[in-house]
Amino acid sequence: MRCVSETRSSICLPDTGDFMRKCSLVFVSLAVVLICGFVLPNVFGWNQHRDHADQVQKVLASSLKLTDGRDRFSQQQWDDYVKLYSYYPDWGAGGLTSSPRDEELWGYFLNAQVERRMEGTHSLRATLVYFKLLLEAFAANENNKGALWAGCLTHVIGDAAAANHPPLLMYLTYADGPLGMTVAPSNTRLSDELSWIDVAGPSQDELGRQFIREELTGYKPTLLGDNAEEAAIRLQLLLHENWLVALNQEAKIASGFEQWVGNRDEQGREKMLRGMAVIIARCTRDSADAIYTAHVLSRQNQTFDVDLALEKGQPSIAEHRRSLLLSEVSLYDGLLRESNAVPAIGVFIGVPPIYWVSSGCVDLQFCYFMALITRTLADQQTPYVTYDLKAPPESLDPAEVPIVILPPYRQADGLATDRLEKMLHTYREAGGRILCIGGYPSAAVDPLTDQMHRNPESDYFYPLKTQDMPGTQLILTDAVGQQRGKAIPILHILKDFDVRVYGGHVMKSNATAPVKPVVLLENGETRLPVSLGLAQGHGFEVIYAPWYFFMPGLLSDEREKKNLDHPTLDSQGTIILNHLLGLLKEDR
């Protein structure tokens, strides 16, 4: 677990709002910290961090020797490292407000968060602070504290590769599981089988242990750098590299998981466990390397300045993110299309960021929703082309690409937002149209952005309080306000803040631009315009639609999941998508 993003800490949101929105983000950030500290101590990252730490101990123990040949850690210290300290970043995520514990170093750990300005227990800064404190503890031969900081460092490195963090497996774990989804043909509930995609499942399964051993056989820890600052800089990039391994492996894991859970197919089990072994071994090796580096460099009393190391690490991280290809993300396997029959819908997608460490040009959650939307277009045989959001085309011809689908974005990963917005402005002037998926509507769809605000009854994630959403229904309307089709009931909601994003916007009652509702949320006698379009003639130039339209399982009682490695919208989400695209095609 780590607490950041448009969801976890809101700090990753585009800077396109007013003062009140910024205040609301601060409130949500504080609420998230409290939730992390009191309600969800073991929910995120590897649920069983001890299994990861146990693997690290096996790789590392023989290399962690003092100059006199004695072991750095006693058996008790190793036990505490594995069973306690590898969980501390989760258990103490609430800072000084975290639940009390009896361990001797618990108060020391909580106080260090304040004294060392960690900025949360899972942040990039916290990672470097853990490494610095580990160096200091080893240099002073305070090995109880060393075991503590080694456990924290192991935790955050493990989180970077954890299988329940990249988009496919995160939504499988924290959306499909709680929504009661099942896998065909066995009709097994996903929630009953999720340990397979946590470190615990493979680590406690004979075949899983075999694959992990194969990945780790013969490995000896190596130095991250010749000095502490160099190692601290390398450590930052290492988190991103672990994340890329998880992004690359997750579709294979999801496919194998479906084969195994749905049909007890041994080939599926092997595929799943091999993928899991790859990412478990990667974060095990890197955790061992980081602790070993601190062990060796502490003999020279090496240390470093955290702020300076963070500053020096940014260029390599930025270059790494800029260089990533959409084809390296298994979420998009078989989905990317550089050309198609014309006219074709243009879809902007991006490489999911390791969002609790640093933001990307598009949030992970919208990477998932955009993949669902794009695969639905493919299933319908609707021509489309995909564009890498961080490197958009210089221009778009509405005759070839009459509509683009755009997620919220921010300046990161090399994306120059001013150039993107200028290009899309020219595109709109030439007759191009945009479906904006939100989150917050972006500047590319101005002046629509200014015609919306957060509903006073919103709890940030939905236009109403979360508990008030079930029982409401969505009314689809056309350009003249007439209802199209049957009302779509909202049957279920997501309660976990990591799979939800901002969704509180509605149309202002005093909207000044020519905007019209295209989807209304009916709550008793009240109808809230939650999706609206900027009118042009008898059609629309741009339309905004919130994320919860496109989350399978919220608007439908369909509970059987298929194709876990390449999911699509459910039937009701597909109806809404086609409704909105149809409105954008009218009056062309």
Q: Quick one: 503 exposed, middle or buried, by C-beta within 10 A (0-12, 13-18, 19+)?
A: buried
CA atoms within 13 Å, Cβ hemisphere of 147: 23
| Predicted TM-score (pTM) above 0.75 | yes
Phi, psi of 295 (to 5 degrees): -60, -50
Q: Which residues of the chain have pLDDT under 70?
A: 1-47, 497, 588
- 469 neighbors 523 (Cβ within 8 angstroms): no
Q: Which residues contact 74 (CB under 8 A, 6 or more apart)?
A: 143
Report cis status (omega within 30 of 0) of the bond before 383: no
Strand order in the sheet with 515-523: 384-388, 345-349, 403-406, 433-438, 539-546, 526-536, 515-523, 473-476, 488-489
Q: Which two tokens stand for residue 560?
A: 């059987």
- 208 neighbors 286 (Cβ within 8 angstroms): no
- Sign of the CA dihedral running 439, 444, 358, 371: positive
- The pLDDT value recorded for residue 421 is 97
- The pLDDT value recorded for residue 34 is 39
Q: Please give the torsion angle defined by the CA atoms of residues 412, 414, 419 and 423, in that order, rounded to the nearest 10 degrees.
A: -100
- 314 neighbors 128 (Cβ within 8 angstroms): no
Residues 393 and 213: their CA atoms lie apart, in Å, by 46
Summarize pLDDT for 104-132 with one digit per residue, the tens: 999 999 999 999 999 999 999 999 999 99
Residues 391 and 318: their CA atoms lie apart, in Å, by 14
Phi, psi of 366 (to 5 degrees): -75, -25
- 544 neighbors 448 (Cβ within 8 angstroms): yes
Q: Which two tokens stand for residue 309?
A: 């190391």
SS3 of residue 104 by DSSP: coil
Integer angstrom CA distances of residue 406 from 21, 300, 489: 22, 52, 26
Q: How far is CA 194 from the centre of its chain?
A: 18
- The pLDDT value recorded for residue 47 is 59
What DSSP character marks residue 176?
I
DSSP string spanning 544-581?
Answer: EEEGGGGSTTSS----EE--TTS----HHHHHHHHHHH
Phi, psi of 457 (to 5 degrees): -90, 0
What DSSP character marks residue 198?
S
Q: How far is CA 50 from the centre of its chain?
A: 23
Length of the chain: 588
- The pLDDT value recorded for residue 588 is 61
- The pLDDT value recorded for residue 323 is 96
CA atoms within 13 Å, Cβ hemisphere of 374: 27
Beta bridge partners of 528: 521
What DSSP character marks residue 149?
H
Q: Quick one: 188 exposed, middle or buried, by C-beta within 10 A (0-12, 13-18, 19+)?
A: middle
- 95 neighbors 112 (Cβ within 8 angstroms): no
Residues 578 and 588: their CA atoms lie apart, in Å, by 16
Contacts within 8 Å (CB) and 24+ apart, 188-194: 188/261, 188/262, 190/261, 190/561, 193/257, 193/261, 194/164
Summarize pLDDT for 202-251 with one digit per residue, the tens: 999 999 999 999 999 999 999 999 999 999 999 999 999 999 999 999 99
The DSSP element (H or E) to which 519 belongs, if any, is: strand 515-523
- The pLDDT value recorded for residue 206 is 96
Residues 6 and 440: their CA atoms lie apart, in Å, by 10
What is the bridge-based pairing of β-strands 515-523 and 526-536? antiparallel
